Structure 1
Amino acid sequence: MRVSSSKEKILKKIREALTNPVPLPFPKSEGTTSVFPQQKEDLEITFAEEFTKLLGKFAFCVSEADMKHQLQKLLSEKKWTNIFCKEDSLVKILNDGKLPKLNQSTLADCDVSITTCEYLIARTGSIVMTSAQQSGRTVSAYAPVHICIAYINQLVYDTRDALKLLKTKYGNSFPSFITFAAGPSRTADIEKTLVVGVHGPKEVYLFLIDEQAK
């Protein structure tokens, strides 16, 4: 079948373009810098503002002792008694006799789950969790309420910062699953009405401790 002259001209131009690629007009703008302006406030303030915009509930704690005091008050007010937590680092901190005894074996029917996280992204108000954590992939998503305990040095500004740190941390053992949790699950698919807690936790709390993660 004979190729039309006009089509032949187009194909010729494509072949020429492939053999003589045109340099990028603005090489310095191609992925070398973030498209988002850097924060003007402290990371914890930026995160708190963005996290609460997404219906998350934020608590700033000056120490681990302050975190336990605020957590105890929250659990008492909400009357949550079946508290699932399987991370050894948290169990060691929280199992001190003042808080309800932690459920470390059965996620089903729990009132609330408590986990740590990998990082917090200030710009988007997101909690970064991975399958490499002791809680795994399901704990933060299956419980009706998720409480995350984080430390001040886990804050980063943007997603790319978190991914770089994850790559450095895990190297060739990079986690198979990464979650960027931005507040409670919500959807407006039905008649554009916002519904919270349809396919995940209906409430998400973030306790940020003003200490370095151990």
Structure 2
Amino acid sequence: MSISPAKENILKKIREALSHPTAIPFPASEGNASVYKAPQQENEIEFAEQFSKLQGRFVYCINQQELAFQLSSLIQKQDWQKVYCVEPALQQQLSAAVADRLVETGLKDSDVAITGCEFLVARTGSIVLSAGQQSGRNTSVYAPIHICIAYTHQLVTDVKDALTLIKDKYQDKLPSLITFATGPSRTADIEKTLVVGVHGPREVYVFLVDA
């Protein structure tokens, strides 16, 4: 198939441009440094403040025993009957606290879903989740209430830190989905009125365990 003179002229210019690349005029502007100021407080406090501003509910636990107590108290107070969790490690930790209400099936009928996370981002108050977790894609968004159990060693300062660590963790087998959940689901598409819980959980809890 013949190429028109106009198209050939364009391709010729592209080849010439590629053979003589132009140096970046302002290399300093391609900075690798963060555009955000480093937080002036510990990541635990920064995350708690940002997450709470987003209508998230934050609970700090000094150890596993306090986690079990706080979680059991919350479930009894809210009278949640079906607590969905499919992560074996979490099931083992929570069995004493919610053994009679813990279920592995029937996500659509559950009152609350419990998952772990990949990381927590302090600057934005975000929970980093991925399809590589045993809870998969649906658990954190399908139930009306999502409880995330995280540990202090999972806290990072910024989004780029979380992405770097996920890349290191999974190497060349990155999960098919990486989600940054920043507070409960919200939308203002309906007559510009903010509505919570339309496209996901209406309440999000983070239990942060010191570890």
| TM-score, normalised via structure 2 length | 0.89
Structure 1 residue 69: deviation in Å?
0.8
| Shift, 1:101, TM fit | 3.0
Residue deviations 1:173-193 (CA, integer Å, cap 9, x gap): 210111110111001111211
Report how many aligned residue pairs link the two structures: 206
Work out the CA distance in 1 between the residues paired with 2:110 and 2:31: 44
2:155 alignment partner AA: L
Shift of 1:120: 0.3
Deviates more, 1:30-39 or 1:66-75: 30-39
For the 8 Å contact 2:132–2:175, the answer to whether it is kept is yes
User: What are structure 2's unaligned runs of at least 5 residues?
Assistant: 1-5, 7-12
CA distance 1:186–1:98, shift in 2 (3 Å) = closer
**CA RMSD between the two structures:** 2.4
Distance of 2:97 and 2:166 partners within structure 1: 34
Q: Pairwise mapping of residues 137-152 of structure 1 onto structure 2 (< 5 A)?
A: 137-152=137-152
Matches within 5 A, 1:145-160: 145-160=145-160
Matched, 1:173 2:173: yes
- Structure 1 length normalisation: TM-score? 0.88
Deviation track 1:161-184 (CA, whole Å, cap 9, x = no partner) reads 111111111112210111110111
The one-letter code of the counterpart of 1:64 is Q
Sequence identity of aligned pairs in percent?
54
Q: Cα deviation per residue 1:5-46 (whole Å; 9 max; x = unaligned)? A: xxxxxxxx9998766544323313314111111111100111
In the other structure, the counterpart of 2:42 is: 42
2:65 corresponds to which residue? 65
- Map 1:85-100 → 2, pairs under 5 A: 85-96=85-96, 100=100
Q: Compute the displacement of 1:98 (Å).
A: 5.7
- Aligned twin of 1:106: 106
Output the CA distance in 2 between the equivalents of 1:104 and 1:31: 47
- C-alpha separation between the residues in 1 aligned to 2:64 and 2:28? 44
Deviation track 1:74-102 (CA, whole Å, cap 9, x = no partner) reads: 11111111100000000010112665431
Matches of 1:193 and 1:162, distance apart in 2: 32
- Code of the residue aligned with 1:106 in structure 2: it is G
SS state at 2:207 partner:
strand
Give ranges in structure 1 of 5+ residues lacking alignment: 4-12
